[in-house]
Amino acid sequence: MGKYFRKTTGSVGVMPSSACQDRQKLRSALRAPADEPPLSRQAKLDRTPGSYTSLCLQDYKLNFGLSDSHTGSEWHGGAATIEACPGAEVWGVIWTLSNEHLSSLDNQEGVSVGIYSPQEVSVETDDGVILCRTYQMNGFHPCPPSPQYKQVVCMGARRSGLPMEYQKKLEEIQTNNYSGPSILDQIKIE
């Protein structure tokens, strides 16, 4: 089994660690809650057997935008990504997943169409540093998220039990004020 860090509303992905003794298993993966895929796809991931823990990725910040290779958005605004930024932090969830889910996760994150690329990051835990897979947007251009996308990000942070201070920061994110139909209209939110 490996670990996957999921950012509050977005994704930091799953990555086999080069330090993993058993290459058939993921050592760890990191996903942050910023660039969250549609909830229907998230639900598939959430049903995957495994455990998760809320942790912080140091020296990265959460940002929203569009990729050169994908200027449209089913969310009508920017999607989440992470960027290196000394002193900043992104909170998310580390999931334990088996290697068999790696290609599905890559597809969910748009790796095959060039939207995101996998990236290895180190996450400090009580048990030491874990190498994780995350996803970073290619050809990033800043673009605020839609209110609907922000709602999904904030809901993910709440459900994951991320620190209240971080949740408040997410609530303060400025949106593009899009008010038309969105993919969120098709999703039942509990």
Catalytic residue list contains 171: no
pLDDT per residue as tens digits for the range 12-30: 333 333 222 222 223 233 4
Catalytic residue among 74, 83, 89, 109: 109
Per-residue b/e over 74-102, b at no fewer than 16 CB within 10 Å? ebbbbbbbbeeeeeebbbbbbbbbebebb
pLDDT per residue as tens digits for the range 175-187: 999 999 888 888 7
The CATH-assigned architecture of domain 2-186 is Roll (3.10)
Domain locations in the chain as residue ranges: 2-186
pLDDT band at 59 (very low <50, low <70, confident <90, very high): very high
* Sign of the alpha-carbon dihedral angle for 138, 139, 140, 145: negative
